[in-house]
Amino acid sequence: MTLLMTLLMTLLMTLLMILLTILLMTIYRLANDLANDLANDLANDLANDLANDLANDLANDLANDLANDLVNDHLSTCNRLTIDAPINS
């Protein structure tokens, strides 16, 4: 009877260890998946933010350059018209 109880306890402990191992492996996989998802989301958010900032900066720079060029062209034209205009005396 003692041998049977020993074998039964050994079997139960082995099954418990197998279940515990499966549980730990499942937790590890879930944690790993979560970490990968968070890392990917963070990388995508950073890339999108950087791309948007770069696009906005470029658009603002181009708009400012265009506005400055238009103002300078207009002032240059006005100066030419003023210089070329006959003096009424």
- pLDDT confidence of 84, banded at 50, 70, 90? low
* Half-sphere exposure (Cβ direction) of 67: Cα atoms closer than 13 Å: 6
Confidence (pLDDT) at 72: 87
Q: How far apart are CA 23 and CA 29, in angstroms?
A: 10
CA–chain centroid gap for 35, Å, is 15
Q: How far apart are CA 85 and CA 88, in angstroms?
A: 9
- pLDDT confidence of 82, banded at 50, 70, 90? low
Angle at 57 (CA atoms; ends 56, 63), nearest 5 degrees:
90
CA–chain centroid gap for 37, Å, is 12
